[in-house]
Structure 1
Amino acid sequence: MAWLVPVLVIVLIAVIVGIYLWATYNSLVQLNVRVDEAWSDITVQLKRRADMIPGLIETVKGYAAHERVVFENVTQARAETLSAQSPGAAGVAEGHLQNALKSLFAVAEAYPQLQASQNFLQLQRAIVDTEDKIQASRRFYNGGVRELNTKIKVFPNNLFARNLGFSEREFFEVIDGAGIAEPPRIQF
């Protein structure tokens, strides 16, 4: 009978550890799924913006056909954005696209008749709306990454989280901070 107490204590400790591992694993899975969902939201908004850019280019081309280099830079930056597969690559591409869009809108400012074009104005509004959605999606994603990374790093989770297949995720940060310090100026 004296052996029963230590066995019960060991079983109780094993059950508590098991419940803790089960709860921690499930919360890590939930955070991981939330981060994946947030990244998906970002890619949807980046694709939406990228889909608008050819229309914007064509509209501006009609008024400023001689600005070929600007159009090529925007097209190249758009392609880079669409091909980005990770938050780091997307951050670099985002900086390049912001700089290219600034140049495009600077060209547009030089043509008053373009500024009055309904098509151009609608595209500008849609891009501004999409930029706002990208920023909101980015904040949501980075918040999820912060929660997941924190949960993975805290003790005692750091002892077993990596063994369960969880790793820290990369924040979505625009690499060229100077390129986005001032967003594209869009005047109506």
Structure 2
Amino acid sequence: MKKWLGPLIGILVVLGIGAVLLISPYNNLVTLSESVDKHKSEIDNKLQRRMDLIPNLVETVKGYASHETEVMTNIADARSKMAGASTTAEQLEANDELSSALSRLLVVVENYPELKSDAHFTQLMDELAGTENRISVERGKYNEAVQVYNNKVQRFPSNIAAKIFGFEKRPYFEAQKGAEQAPTVDFGNGAK
């Protein structure tokens, strides 16, 4: 019976040391994951603010440009898609569509000088611009948190804890496709 006691203690010591060595990386990964979630929540908060502003903006524009139904429909559809997005990938896609629809709305606005001078419209545009800036800042913070987290998930020795406990890389919030090129504006045909 005593023959088994030595190896059993040795195995328990090795397992104990292994568990202790996993505690710190695990706790660090949890902290970094929570940081990513916090920054994602801040983006969601700002996106919700933008979504709350859009109906007022659309209603104001409708008063001046009621025949621009396609643009208004695209905005409503994009808002619905954004509200129904459940994953970061779906949210990114819906955000791209909403940003594109808002860009088309701004092109329409250019055709209505009296709308641009409307105080309510101007206030809404200022609020929307401020919200867009805050979204941009929060995206940057989120991407920084994702970078730190993803590095930890991939680097040794924390990658071992990440694999054991199911921590996976997180996606970055990236610019929409074509964002590096300025849109072409043609007041006869809209944005291209």
TM-score by length of 1: 0.84
Q: Is the 8 A contact 1:99 1:179 kept in 2?
A: no
Give the equivalent residue in structure 2 for 1:178: 178
- Residues in 2 aligned to 1:182 and 1:75: alpha-carbon distance in whole angstroms: 24
**1:25-71 deviations in Å (ceiling 9; x for gaps):** 11111001111111111111111101110000000000011111110
Cα distance, 1:18 vs. partner? 4.4
In structure 1, C-alpha distance between the alignment counterparts of 2:74 and 2:40, rounded to whole Å = 26
Alpha-carbon distance in structure 2 between the residues aligned to 1:118 and 1:31: 44
Show structure 2 runs of 5+ residues with no match.
Answer: 1-8, 186-192
Give structure 1 regions of 4+ aligned residues with deviation exceeding 3 angstroms.
Answer: 13-20, 179-183
Q: Quickly say closer, same or farther: Cα 1:182–1:98, change in 2 above 3 A.
A: farther
Residue 122 of structure 2 is matched in structure 1 by 121
TM-score by length of 2: 0.82
Q: Map residues 1-188 of structure 1 onto 2, 5 A cutoff.
A: 17-174=18-175, 176-179=176-179, 181-182=181-182
TM-superposed deviation, 1:20: 3.3
2:4 aligns to what?
none
Asked whether the equivalents of residues 87 and 171 of structure 1 are also in contact (C-alpha less than 8 Å), the reply is no
Instruction: Indicate the RMSD between aligned Cα atoms, in angstroms.
Output: 2.4
Note the C-alpha offset of 1:160.
2.9
What one-letter code is carried by the residue in structure 2 that aligns with 1:100? Answer: A
Q: Given the superposition, is the C-alpha separation of residues 81 and 123 from structure 1 closer, same or farther in structure 2, using an over 3 Å criterion?
A: same
Distance in 2 of aligned mates of 1:143 and 1:132: 17
Q: Which runs of 5+ in 1 are unaligned?
A: 1-6
- 2:46, 2:135 within 8 Å by CA — same for their partners in 1? yes
Counterpart secondary structure, 2:169: coil
Q: CA deviation at 1:79?
A: 1.4
* Paired residue total: 176
Conservation of the 8 A alpha-carbon contact between 2:153 and 2:169: yes
Secondary structure, aligned partner of 2:121: helix
TM-superposition CA deviations, 1:101-124 (whole Å, max 9, x none): 111111111111111111000110
Deviation at 1:165, TM superposition (A): 2.8
Give the residue type in structure 1 aligned to 2:51: A
